[in-house]
Chains A and B, each alone.
Chain A
């Protein structure tokens, strides 16, 4: 990947009017798991989120739990996955998601340095809220890794402001009070998380958790700058879908975003008579 930061990259694309799409894959889920990353990139992903599996994924619902368990049973380790990532030469920014004990075990500084070596540009650690992020954030900055913080529907205004200031790369807006997992519809809480964040910051705001269909993604992008899509894709992989098949799911979301969101943003911009946001 290029030398520019995850945030610079995403901001530029967002500012050009593009709805951001970040699909997820559990690292090591299959032998050819990197083929999913490449398929996502080819399908128009703006970045790819890669999960380094942890034995006790507290914030994950059944699908990602199953994917993590399956990867761990295959004997994957964070080190080996990062080696594989390093050799993959993918043309989109990569964001690693893992739990704090995986980071902590290696040491925050060593872990972030390792990510940078592997060509990763962002990090999400869902069980490190911003008040515990102190030296992890320092280590990430030193290594040139954007530490992405989560914001939840329950986050009160003062915390939301701190999160908006301290998050790097983007802000991960959690759509719902719950775990990751496919859902039938977008909850109302998603809209308000995005709206509250956008009042506070120009940093890209991406919504995640339960974004399962192109329709959800379009709906989410009416309020936010982009989406993270995870469980819906992992369910397909768990059920045996090939990289090409899951890549075409991502392409379908891409198409929906490009035709419906970008078009409506253009229309809005024209109507308002200003350029950009």
Chain B
């Protein structure tokens, strides 16, 4: 294993790799990524990496996953031209409809992949953290489908905000454990899931919900989400005279729907834009650091204590961002911006009324940037833009109804 140097300026230690490819044994995306976990968990991470490499190169595994995505999860999801909103904004807006996937968000893509992998590895349990509950619901669903026990860790604050999803998870047979430490949100749920995994790695697979965590997770989750971008690329090719959109936009918490979307367009001329919540903008307001096993941009104070994120959207309430996004930003290949809670809330209503589509608050962040940028030099009139609508908004209805 190559010596991995520590901290800024260590880029030279890493071989050049093509963008959004295999991050190698050290799990590095440029200077980001890695495996900063207790020794107890290293063997479990190595076992998973080996199993994933093996499965991902196995046509039988790929065929089983593809068939499950098609027959069970409802893939491919369509790309819908947002005709009325396009006319209002003066741009051509296309929506990649992950809200139409089974369980109501893109999370199912990753979870089905990991659950099939876990079964292949002989694991009998899935552990998951969840913020908005979408990943928890998806994991509970995959567990029910494949006969695996599921334990979901969820911050108590998120359980209050997303009571419907807690009910859904329990209905699906999952055990939901409330986490009362720290900010009682996604970051604390991750800590607790990791602690639990240390004690149960023999029979449990930790099904991480985003492109975060120790190597191989950021890579593995991006690969399982790649289907979003690959489908969308083909769909754009048949819908757009120019073949590829000018701009591809996705919301970013940990960044899995964005990573999956970007993976399909990274080798095209399309501009890639990730949109974070203003209260949890790890890329723009954070600084390099280590959280939950990976080195990336993290919200932190001057002493290195992790700061809490604050977003109306529980699914984006996370102080870090996937390491590959930090690398794409370093390279200038993708840009990352933020929108406020109010902009996201307004975007929910705007899409609902113009197109009859109720997006998740998370997804509304991506749309909110389009609403803001359309007609400006950022997104000039006549541009074509693809937005990944990562999930549907039913889960947020109760929260939105209670807003002043």
Interface residues in chain A, defined as those with a beta carbon under 8 Å from any beta carbon in chain B: 54-61, 65, 69, 72, 77-79, 99-108, 126-132, 134-136, 139, 149-156, 159, 163, 174, 176-179
- Choose among A69, A102, A127 the residue that contacts B36 (Cβ–Cβ < 8 A): A127
Contact call A61/B304, Cβ cutoff below 8 A: no
Selected A-B contacts with CB under 8 Å, 13 pairs = A59-B38, A60-B195, A103-B304, A105-B303, A126-B38, A131-B35, A135-B5, A135-B6, A135-B7, A150-B39, A155-B40, A156-B43, A159-B39
Contact call B40/A152, Cβ cutoff below 8 A: yes
In the assembled complex, the CB of B293 is this many whole angstroms from the nearest CB of chain A, namely 7
Contact call A104/B38, Cβ cutoff below 8 A: no
With a cutoff of 8 Å between Cβ atoms, the chain B residues found around residue A99 in the complex are: 290
Contact call B38/A131, Cβ cutoff below 8 A: no
Closest residue to A154 on the B side, CB-wise? B43
In the assembled complex, the CB of B172 is this many whole angstroms from the nearest CB of chain A, namely 28
Contact call B198/A132, Cβ cutoff below 8 A: no
In the assembled complex, the CB of B277 is this many whole angstroms from the nearest CB of chain A, namely 20
Contact call B40/A69, Cβ cutoff below 8 A: no
Contact call A56/B306, Cβ cutoff below 8 A: yes
- Choose among B4, B187, B304 the residue that contacts A132 (Cβ–Cβ < 8 A): B4
In addition to A54-B305, A77-B303, A127-B36, 7 A-B residue pairs with Cβ atoms within 8 Å of each other are A58-B37, A102-B304, A127-B38, A129-B38, A135-B6, A153-B40, A177-B40
With a cutoff of 8 Å between Cβ atoms, the chain A residues found around residue B43 in the complex are: 152, 154-156, 159
Contact call A174/B39, Cβ cutoff below 8 A: yes
Per-position contact with A for B304-324: 1 when CB-CB < 8 Å, else 0?
111000000000000000000
Does B292 lie at the interface of the complex (its beta carbon under 8 Å from any beta carbon of A)?
A: yes
Closest residue to B306 on the A side, CB-wise? A55
With a cutoff of 8 Å between Cβ atoms, the chain B residues found around residue A104 in the complex are: 6-7, 288-290, 295, 304
Contact call A132/B34, Cβ cutoff below 8 A: yes
In Å, the complex CA distance between A135 and B290 comes to 15
Contact call B194/A58, Cβ cutoff below 8 A: yes
Contact call A134/B5, Cβ cutoff below 8 A: yes
- Choose among A58, A72, A105, A159 the residue that contacts B38 (Cβ–Cβ < 8 A): A58
- Choose among A65, A131, A149, A176 the residue that contacts B181 (Cβ–Cβ < 8 A): A65
Does B10 lie at the interface of the complex (its beta carbon under 8 Å from any beta carbon of A)?
A: yes
With a cutoff of 8 Å between Cβ atoms, the chain B residues found around residue A130 in the complex are: 39
In Å, the complex CA distance between A67 and B44 comes to 29
Closest residue to B183 on the A side, CB-wise? A55
In Å, the complex CA distance between A61 and B42 comes to 19
In the assembled complex, the CB of A207 is this many whole angstroms from the nearest CB of chain B, namely 14
In the assembled complex, the CB of B309 is this many whole angstroms from the nearest CB of chain A, namely 13
Contact call B291/A56, Cβ cutoff below 8 A: yes
Max chain B Cβ within 10 angstroms of own Cβ: one of A104, A108, A178: A104
In Å, the complex CA distance between A232 and B380 comes to 64
Would you list which residues of chain B between 185 and 230 have a CB under 8 Å from chain A? 187-188, 191, 194-195, 198-199, 201-202
Does B300 lie at the interface of the complex (its beta carbon under 8 Å from any beta carbon of A)?
A: yes
In Å, the complex CA distance between A134 and B26 comes to 12
In the assembled complex, the CB of B398 is this many whole angstroms from the nearest CB of chain A, namely 30
With a cutoff of 8 Å between Cβ atoms, the chain B residues found around residue A61 in the complex are: 195
Would you list which residues of chain B between 32 and 76 have a CB under 8 Å from chain A? 34-44
Closest residue to A134 on the B side, CB-wise? B3
In the assembled complex, the CB of A150 is this many whole angstroms from the nearest CB of chain B, namely 4
With a cutoff of 8 Å between Cβ atoms, the chain A residues found around residue B288 in the complex are: 104
With a cutoff of 8 Å between Cβ atoms, the chain B residues found around residue A154 in the complex are: 39-44, 201
- Choose among A78, A129, A150 the residue that contacts B304 (Cβ–Cβ < 8 A): A78
Q: Would A105 and B35 be within 8 Å (CB), given that A131-B1, A179-B198 are in contact?
A: no
Contact call B5/A152, Cβ cutoff below 8 A: no
Contact call B303/A127, Cβ cutoff below 8 A: no
Would you list which residues of chain B between 256 and 271 have a CB under 8 Å from chain A? none
With a cutoff of 8 Å between Cβ atoms, the chain B residues found around residue A126 in the complex are: 38-39
In Å, the complex CA distance between A108 and B289 comes to 12
Contact call B181/A178, Cβ cutoff below 8 A: no
With a cutoff of 8 Å between Cβ atoms, the chain B residues found around residue A178 in the complex are: 40, 195, 198-199
With a cutoff of 8 Å between Cβ atoms, the chain B residues found around residue A77 in the complex are: 303
- Choose among A56, A69, A101 the residue that contacts B187 (Cβ–Cβ < 8 A): A56
Does B298 lie at the interface of the complex (its beta carbon under 8 Å from any beta carbon of A)?
A: yes
Contact call B195/A179, Cβ cutoff below 8 A: yes
In the assembled complex, the CB of B54 is this many whole angstroms from the nearest CB of chain A, namely 18
With a cutoff of 8 Å between Cβ atoms, the chain B residues found around residue A128 in the complex are: 36
With a cutoff of 8 Å between Cβ atoms, the chain A residues found around residue B4 in the complex are: 131-132, 134
In the assembled complex, the CB of A216 is this many whole angstroms from the nearest CB of chain B, namely 19
Closest residue to A174 on the B side, CB-wise? B40
Would you list which residues of chain B between 348 and 386 have a CB under 8 Å from chain A? none
* Top 3 A-B residue pairs of the complex, sorted by shortest distance between their CB atoms: A105-B304, A152-B40, A135-B6
With a cutoff of 8 Å between Cβ atoms, the chain B residues found around residue A59 in the complex are: 38, 40, 195, 198
